């Protein structure tokens, strides 16, 4: 990129440069903080947007990392300013961080817009922080680079390797089935969170970090560096240095985020066997660019993209293994014929340049093209009379014997009812039943929580059952697995067909055919619709009011309807 290095062209010059009363005020207040002219004059102001919080366990290393980013900014002649933004910690935030993804996106957008910021380092990692920060930066269209938190180290318990999330579900089932004592359960609790960093399975955090890198939003090799190793500190410094250059180059998201780079993100999420949540987030990210990413595009790419990363929950290994096997760049280098490698990245070079020379070290973890985990269709779109606007299933993490299945519905009206009834010994259920949860979508829950991996009833666990067909308008954690049909749209809370299903109705899924069918006559559906109770009212106040009035359905990305599309985005008046 050409670097004019003309300080008069910096965005921050409008705040600090003019010889007028307002700029006098801006400069004098920097001086009140101990800065002198030499600290900021003619230097790009680089914001470190930090999602550190003591309530976000995955970002506990971000205080140190922010200092390392700061070091990089200073090395390259920038003026670093650390700005805290809302943290969305997946573990402790209720009912779900997804309720607040759009709030963080709005905060990032407005923080970037209203301050004298020439470029930004976006420090995120835990699940929704990634899409939220990218969405906000795209809408503000200020030069921005994403700095991922990195995954935790691999966990060990006795002689077992533990993966966060996935092994919690697995061993909880064993505990319910009577196969795990209290002491062992406590032992797993003590070991499974090994270090700072995000879940070390291919959950939503690692999926979105890979997607961000493949779309060109972070430095090459950034996505998979474990959170607490020295390379991660060096990444932070390098990211800070690069952010200064991006300010001089005025390299904005609109310069490198295109329809083609979004496709790269989608193909990457499929090839890593990534979280189903990536689909919703990518639709929302594309929406901020004014790109209408339909589920049909996802379906097309799903039919042609192989699954190459053998990572839990759909595979055998963990993120540290992926890193040691060559990392994302090496996997992308194995699929250059599928990717749009001419896309520009935050490095100022193309994706082809980013992945050039990347080598796979371990073909078991990153498979060859002629020995993939799955030829294609790792995650599939299903359509049918129960999901007119689509639903998804991560088929690569499901029991292959259940991918074509017909069985009677066992319906739970909402999450509390499911929690109360699922383990009832008198529940009329067997391994052929189709478990259904409704009122769990964007509006129903509200917030579209990760309730889609419904528990297997205890009496079936005791009988040895470990997977069943489960259907819902919820999402599921990227660390979850099983034959779970998710994101049914429209959701039950807006009157989607799921609202009308009754116990005993026959439901059929056929993943090879990409269909879902509810075997009930049109006349019966009409009769039930006429008797349906009124829809849930919109909450009267606060953020939930705004959310309920404006959130879109799963197939549209669950962004707020008023945030889609490119904004002319006038700079704020500073007079
Ligand atoms: Fe933060 Fe899994 S809980 S990434």
Q: Is the domain of 350 the same as that of 385?
A: no
* 198 within ligand 1 shell (Cβ under 6 A): yes
One domain for residues 140 and 280: yes
What is the predicted pLDDT for the residue at 571?
76
In this structure, the answer to whether residues 473 and 402 fall within a common structural domain is: yes
Q: What is the pLDDT of residue 326?
A: 97
Residues 280 and 333 in one domain: yes
Q: How many domains does the chain have?
A: 2
Of the residues 53, 127, 197, which should be mutated to test ligand 1's pocket, given the most ligand atoms within 8 Å of the CB?
A: 127
**Which ligand 1 atom lies nearest to the CA of residue 198?**
4
**Which atom from ligand 1 is nearest to the alpha carbon of 57?**
1
Decide if 90 is inside a domain. Answer: yes
Helix (H) or strand (E) holding 390, with range, is: strand 387-393
**Same domain assignment for residues 462 and 340:** no
Nearest ligand 1 atom to the CA of 127 is 4
Question: Would you give the distance in Å from CA 561 to the centre of its chain?
Answer: 19
Regions in the chain scoring below 50 on pLDDT: 2
Q: Which residues contact 68 (CB under 8 A, 6 or more apart)?
A: 233, 236, 237, 240
Give the closest residue (by CA) to ligand 1 atom 2. 199
Question: Which of 511, 530, 549 corresponds to the end of one domain?
Answer: 530
**Per-residue pLDDT, 239:** 98
Q: Does residue 127 have its Cβ closer than 6 Å to ligand 1?
A: yes
Q: Is the CB of 145 under 6 A from ligand 1?
A: no
In a domain, 544, yes or no: no
36, part of any domain: no
- CA dihedral (87, 88, 92, 96) positive or negative: positive
Same domain, 268 and 415: no
Find the radius of gyration of the CA atoms of the chain: 24
The secondary structure of 499-567 as a DSSP string is: GG--TT-EEEEETTTTEEEE---HHHHHHHHHTPPPPPPPPSSHHHHHHHHHBPPGGGTS-BGGG-S--
Residue 433 is encoded by which pair of tokens?
A: 């039943």
- Whether 12 is in a domain gets the answer no
Domain's final residue, options 515, 530, 545: 530
Pocket test for ligand 1, best of 203, 206, 210, 227 (most atoms within 8 A of CB): 203
Atom of ligand 1 at shortest range from CA of 478 = 2
Q: Is 122 in the pocket of ligand 1 (CB under 6 A)?
A: no
Residue 330 alpha carbon to ligand 1 centre in Å? 24
462 and 338, same domain (yes or no):
no
Residue 568 in any domain: the answer is no
Distance from the CA of 125 to the center of ligand 1, in angstroms?
Answer: 8
CB of residue 291 inside a 6 A radius of ligand 1: no
pLDDT for 377 equals 85
Closest atom of ligand 1 relative to the 58 alpha carbon = 1
Decide if 69 contacts 147 (C-beta within 8 A).
Answer: yes
Residue 180 maps to a domain: no
> Is 299 a pocket residue for ligand 1 (Cβ < 6 Å)?
no
| Maximum CA extent, the chain | 79
Ligand 1: which residue has its CA nearest to atom 3? Answer: 90
Same domain, 231 and 336: yes
In a domain, 158, yes or no: no
454 Cβ neighbours under 8 A, 6+ residues apart:
412, 418, 422, 435, 437, 470, 472, 484
How remote is the CA of residue 161 from the centroid of ligand 1, in Å?
A: 18
List the residue whose alpha carbon is closest to atom 1 of ligand 1: 126
Ligand 1 and 149: CB distance under 6 A = no
Q: Residue 482: give its domain's CATH number.
A: 3.50.30.80
Same domain assignment for residues 242 and 147: yes
Structural contact between residues 284 and 131, judged by C-beta atoms closer than 8 angstroms:
yes
Q: What does 134-164 look like in DSSP terms, one character per residue?
A: HHHHHHHT--EEEEE--BPPPEEETTEEE-T
Distance 332 CA to ligand 1 centre (A): 24
Bridge partners for 518 per DSSP: 507
Q: Are 468 and 402 in contact (CB under 8 A)?
A: yes
- pTM: predicted TM-score of the whole model, two decimal places: 0.97
pLDDT at 569: 66
Determine the atom of ligand 1 nearest the C-alpha atom of 91.
3
Q: What is the pLDDT of residues 201-241, one digit of tens each?
A: 999 999 999 999 999 999 999 999 999 999 999 999 999 99
For the CA of 89, the closest atom of ligand 1 is 1
Domain residue limits at 271: 43-152+196-355
436 located within any domain:
yes
For ligand 1, what atom is nearest to the CA of residue 125? 4
Residues 498, 459, single domain; the answer is yes
Q: Give first-to-last CA distance, the chain, whole Å.
A: 33
According to the model, what pLDDT value does residue 536 have?
A: 86
- Same domain, yes or no: 271 and 396: no
Do 212 and 347 belong together in one domain? yes
> Tell me: the pLDDT tens digits for 11-42?
999 999 999 999 999 999 999 999 999 999 99
């Amino acid at each position: 990129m050409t670097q004019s290095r003309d300080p008069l062209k910096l965005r921050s010059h409008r705040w600090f440069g003019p010889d007028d009363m307002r700029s006098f005020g801006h400069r004098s207040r920097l001086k009140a903080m101990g800065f002198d002219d030499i600290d900021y004059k003619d230097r790009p102001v680089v914001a470190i947007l930090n999602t550190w919080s003591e309530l976000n366990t995955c970002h506990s290393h971000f205080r140190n990392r922010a200092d390392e980013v700061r070091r990089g900014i200073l090395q390259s002649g920038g003026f670093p300013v650390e700005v805290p933004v809302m943290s969305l910690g997946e573990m402790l935030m209720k009912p779900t961080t997804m309720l607040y993804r759009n709030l963080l996106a709005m905060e990032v957008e407005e923080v970037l817009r209203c301050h004298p910021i020439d470029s930004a380092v976006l420090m995120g990692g835990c699940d929704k922080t990634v899409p939220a920060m990218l969405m906000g930066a795209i809408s503000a269209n200020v030069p921005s680079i994403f700095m991922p938190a990195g995954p935790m180290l691999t966990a060990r318990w006795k002689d077992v390797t533990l993966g966060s999330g996935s092994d919690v579900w697995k061993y909880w089932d064993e505990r319910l089935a009577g196969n795990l004592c209290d002491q062992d359960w406590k032992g797993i609790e003590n070991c499974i969170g090994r270090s700072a960093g995000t879940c070390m399975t291919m959950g939503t955090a690692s999926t979105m970090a890979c997607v961000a890198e493949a779309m060109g939003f972070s430095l090459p090799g950034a996505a998979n560096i474990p959170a607490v190793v020295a390379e991660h500190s060096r990444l932070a410094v390098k990211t800070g240095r690069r952010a200064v250059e991006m300010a001089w180059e005025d390299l904005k998201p609109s310069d490198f985020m295109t329809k083609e780079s979004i496709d790269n993100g989608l193909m990457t999420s499929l090839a890593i066997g990534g979280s189903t949540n990536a689909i919703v987030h990518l639709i929302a990210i594309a929406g901020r660019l004014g790109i209408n990413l339909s589920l049909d595009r996802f379906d097309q790419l799903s039919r042609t993209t192989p699954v190459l990363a053998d990572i839990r929950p759909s595979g055998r290994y963990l993120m540290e293994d992926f890193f040691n096997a060559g990392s994302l760049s090496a996997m992308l280098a194995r699929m250059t014929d599928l990717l749009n490698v001419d896309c520009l990245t935050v490095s100022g070079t193309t994706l082809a340049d980013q992945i050039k020379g990347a080598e796979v070290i371990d073909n078991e973890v990153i498979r060859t093209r002629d020995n993939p985990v799955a030829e294609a269709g790792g995650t599939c779109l299903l359509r049918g009379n129960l999901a007119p606007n689509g639903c998804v299933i991560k088929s690569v993490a499901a029991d292959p014997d259940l991918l074509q299945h017909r069985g009677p519905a066992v319906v739970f009206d909402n999450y509390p009812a499911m929690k109360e009834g699922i383990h009832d010994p008198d529940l009329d259920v067997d391994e052929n039943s189709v478990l259904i949860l409704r009122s769990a979508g964007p509006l129903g829950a509200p917030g579209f929580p990760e309730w889609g991996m419904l528990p297997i009833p205890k009496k079936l666990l005791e009988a040895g059952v470990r997977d069943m067909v489960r259907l819902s308008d919820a999402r599921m954690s990227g660390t979850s697995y099983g034959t779970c049909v998710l994101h049914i749209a429209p959701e039950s809370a807006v009157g989607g067909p799921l609202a009308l299903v009754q116990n005993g109705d026959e439901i059929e899924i056929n993943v090879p055919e990409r269909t879902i069918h509810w075997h009930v006559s049109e006349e019966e559906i009409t009769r039930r619709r006429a008797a349906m109770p009124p829809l849930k009212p919109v909450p009267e106040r606060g953020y939930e009011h705004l959310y309920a009035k404006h959130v879109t359905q799963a197939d549209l990305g669950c962004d707020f309807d008023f945030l889609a599309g490119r904004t002319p985005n006038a700079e704020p008046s500073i007079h």
